[in-house]
């Protein structure tokens, strides 16, 4: 799950596994696999960073538990 903001500043979370694609039109629009479209304040690059950060957390946790540097 990633936290994003609507254009009015209200925060909510999106299941990143349901993201089909993200585009700037010029507003950033997240299209989900369900067909739902969500307009958010973040840029495409910010959405990518949030998804990468979220998906890397389990790997970082495992490495930490194994005593390896992250």
| Alpha-carbon span 14 to 49, nearest angstrom | 14
Residues 15-55 have pLDDT tens digits of 999 999 999 999 999 999 999 999 999 999 999 999 999 99
| pLDDT at position 45 | 98
List the 19-24 sheet strands across, edge first: 19-24, 28-32, 37-40
58 pLDDT higher than 90: no
Tokens of 5: 């903001």
Q: Is the pTM of this model over 0.85?
A: no
| pLDDT at position 61 | 73
């Amino acid at each position: 799950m990633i936290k994003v903001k609507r254009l009015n500043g209200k925060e909510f979370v999106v299941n990143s596994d349901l993201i089909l694609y993200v585009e700037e039109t010029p507003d950033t629009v997240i299209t989900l696999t369900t067909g739902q479209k969500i307009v958010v304040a973040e840029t495409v690059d910010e959405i990518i960073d949030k998804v990468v950060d979220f998906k890397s957390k389990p790997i970082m946790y495992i490495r930490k538990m194994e005593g390896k540097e992250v």
